[in-house]
């Protein structure tokens, strides 16, 4: 199983991002071949990223509408046990959202699709340029 990190969504939704093509490829492959999911914590972090970049409410709504057909069948709830074990990853220096996806990856025996070196110190990661 693969879990998509927030940077996949950020890259996919920004056509001038140098990782845009890779992000779009990962999004388009949701639900195909090997199971690939987006944790609910990733969705929350992405919403906060848009707000921090001063997106308007209309722009945020348009983004969620665009993502909905891809994400709707492929999200994975961040479990209570992942929240509990995430604290140990924060104690080892991971940020809040990085600790959640890392804990969920451990719980689900999943690989995280990310370029984040901090996450890769704790779980398997991948990022293939397309």
pTM flag (> 0.75): yes
**pLDDT digit string, tens, across residues 11-45:** 999 999 999 999 998 988 887 767 889 999 999 99
DSSP string, 61-89: HHHHHHHHHHHTTSEEPPPHHHHHHHHHH
Does pLDDT of 67 surpass 80?
A: yes
pLDDT at 32: 74
Domains, the chain:
2-126 (3.40.50.1010)
Give the whole-angstrom CA distance, residue 10 versus residue 12. 6
Label residue 47 by pLDDT band (50, 70, 90): very high
Q: Mean pLDDT throughout 37-65?
A: 96
User: Three-class SS of residue 110?
Assistant: coil
pLDDT at 70: 86
Helix residue ranges per DSSP H, the chain: 6-12, 20-28, 40-52, 57-71, 80-91, 96-108, 117-120
**pLDDT digit string, tens, across residues 82-123:** 999 999 999 999 999 999 999 999 999 999 999 999 999 999
Does pLDDT of 130 surpass 70?
A: no
């Amino acid at each position: 199983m693969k879990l998509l990190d927030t940077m996949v969504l950020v890259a996919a939704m920004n056509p001038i991002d140098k990782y845009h093509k890779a992000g779009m490829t990962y999004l388009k492959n949701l639900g195909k071949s090997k199971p690939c999911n987006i944790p609910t914590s990733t969705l929350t972090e992405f919403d906060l990223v848009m707000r921090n970049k001063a997106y308007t409410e209309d722009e945020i709504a348009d983004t969620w509408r665009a993502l909905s057909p891809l994400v709707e069948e492929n999200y994975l709830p961040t479990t209570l046990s992942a929240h509990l074990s995430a604290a140990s990853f924060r104690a080892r220096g991971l940020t809040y959202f990085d600790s959640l996806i890392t804990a969920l990856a451990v719980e689900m025996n999943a690989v995280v699709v990310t370029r984040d070196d901090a996450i890769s110190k704790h779980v398997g990661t991948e990022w293939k340029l397309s």
